[in-house]
Amino acid sequence: MNRLPRALALAIFAAAACRPSPVIEPRVKPAVVVPLSAPEAQLRDAVRTHYAEAVDLLHRSVDISSGTLNVAGVRKVGALYAEEFRKLGFETTWASEPDSLHRAGHLVAVHHGSRGPRILLIGHLDTVFEGEGMRWSQEDTVGHGAGSSDMKGGDVAIILALQALAEAGKLKDMQVIVVMSGDEESAGHPISLSRAALIDAAKQSDIALAFEGGTASRVALGRRGSSNWQLVVTARQAHSAGVFSPGTGYGAAYEGARILDEFRQRLVGKRGLTFNVGVLAGGAHVVADTTGALTADGKSNIIPPIFRASGDLRFLTDPQKDSARTHMREIVSHPLEGAQSTITFEDSYPAMPVTPAGEKLLSLFSETSQSLGYPSVDGGSAEGRGAGDISFIAPFIPGMDGLGVAGAGAHSPRELVYLPSLRMAGERAAVFMSRLIDRWSNL
């Protein structure tokens, strides 16, 4: 496994802490730093006391292979964390998904209380990569391995913060639901089934805090939505000598290329909108398997009768998504001679717009960060974040994402976490939730 030089890895966290974001939307106004109260200092110290245990927990969880389709591995990570939640007085259940989805399900942990807001904490158990080459290793304050930052590090930060709240006697009055999904990296379809547990938890909560990868100075108040599209082009199969001629036409490959290039010409440049082509193939025969992979065959002297392509569409708002789909359908509807095409769309992650309620959460979180001696925190633009589970709860309650650990190499074999950011995430989350409880009536 390739490693980043330690000096470079250390610079990642320092840069995040010291360099202002070039794109700020919205921006929190400078505020007077509120000193930590004695109980808040106790929370901070409790996080620091349990920090070494948290690193060990992260080590053990990273060493459990849990790629999205590794059902047994995902459940094993869930069982490891469930034991930690039970120690804190949570009731834990496993929200299974239908066998047809080929997914492990989700860990749900509930703590009953009556004071302050009902808080939903969001994490996920699965990783993109897994295997022996992605097991835990540590070089001083840098940890390497699958999920070290995305997002087993964030999961452990949740547990670390809750441990501190429990030790300080604050957790006993809190109502908290934790949902750690087992398929965030590749959600099962239909979404209505694979995200049912998360949506149900949102309907029982007042605010949501998600612990995907973070930095010292930025969180996410908005995230783009994503959906998938599939293009199928058919045409007359004939001898290549007749290509372009009347009665024979251009074939499926040229029509597919025309459509994709018109997507590029007409839609590129709209703020927040992207439409990636993930896989494409054309020929005499094209076969798609259950994973979306395409296998093709053909000959150079045959005008290809079939072309397939698929990809994703990312957007800031649902109206932007609908407008893009309308344009794409219109482009498809004017084929070259001898070809006909269909394009279909499948919803995946909804967009999460920035809201005034979210900005209030950010203001309090930034204040908390500064009270602890960390930088002020801004909300970066939604274009800078991919889709995430918190988007599914956006229609129901306000939320904030990016509260997890700092690292690099997510979704690659070079994934790493800067371990002091685990302590930072735990401290900020513990004191932030404490302030939410104390100030909820005024927010």
In a domain, 386, yes or no: yes
Same domain, 21 and 146: yes
Q: How far apart are CA 182 and CA 189, in angstroms?
A: 13
Same domain, 120 and 187: yes
Q: If 0-12 CB within 10 Å is exposed, 13-18 middle and 19+ buried, where does residue 181 land?
A: buried
Cβ(302)–Cβ(284) below 8 Å: yes
> What single DSSP character describes residue 336?
P
Same domain, 87 and 199: yes
Same domain, 14 and 95: yes
Q: Give the domain CATH number at 332.
A: 3.30.70.360
Interacting residues of 220 by C-beta distance below 8 A, sequence separation 6+: 212, 379, 380, 382, 384, 385, 388, 400, 401, 402
Same domain, 57 and 140: yes
Same domain, 189 and 264: no
Q: Which of 203, 149, 210, 142 is CA-nearest to residue 178?
A: 210
Last residue of a domain, one of 304, 324, 349: 349
In a domain, 328, yes or no: yes
Last residue of a domain, one of 299, 319, 349: 349
Per the structure, the count of domains in the chain is 2
Last residue of a domain, one of 295, 324, 349: 349
Same domain, 337 and 403: no
Same domain, 165 and 53: yes
Q: Are strands 285-288 and 294-297 parallel, antiparallel or unpaired?
A: antiparallel
Same domain, 73 and 175: yes
Task: Give the pLDDT confidence score for residue 353 in this predicted structure.
Answer: 87
Place of tokens 């004071």: 115
Amino acid, single-letter form, for residue 38: A
Same domain, 80 and 143: yes
SS3 182: coil
What is the pTM (predicted TM-score) of this model? 0.84
> What single DSSP character describes residue 352?
B
Task: Give the pLDDT confidence score for residue 292 in this predicted structure.
Answer: 82
Residue 49, CA distances (Å) to 53, 83, 141, 155 in order: 8, 20, 17, 18
In a domain, 298, yes or no: yes
Q: Which domain holds residue 105?
A: 6-223+352-442
Instruction: Output the six-digit token pair for 88.
Output: 């804190």
In a domain, 24, yes or no: yes
Same domain, 88 and 165: yes
In a domain, 425, yes or no: yes
In a domain, 1, yes or no: no
Cβ(306)–Cβ(320) below 8 Å: no
In a domain, 389, yes or no: yes
In a domain, 231, yes or no: yes
Q: How far apart are CA 145 and CA 188, in angstroms?
A: 25
Same domain, 28 and 173: yes
Task: Give the pLDDT confidence score for residue 11 in this predicted structure.
Answer: 46
Tens digit of each residue's pLDDT, the chain (443 residues): 444 455 444 444 544 443 333 333 444 445 578 999 999 999 999 999 999 999 999 999 999 999 999 999 999 999 999 999 999 999 999 999 999 999 999 999 999 999 999 999 999 999 999 988 899 999 999 999 999 999 999 999 999 999 999 999 999 999 999 999 999 998 898 899 999 999 999 999 999 999 998 899 999 999 999 999 999 999 999 999 999 999 899 999 999 999 999 999 999 999 999 999 999 999 999 999 877 899 999 999 999 999 999 999 999 989 999 999 999 999 999 999 999 999 999 988 889 989 999 999 999 999 999 999 999 999 877 776 667 899 999 999 999 999 999 999 998 999 999 999 999 999 999 999 999 999 998 87
Instruction: Output the six-digit token pair for 17.
Output: 């802490």
Q: Give the domain CATH number at 20.
A: 3.40.630.10
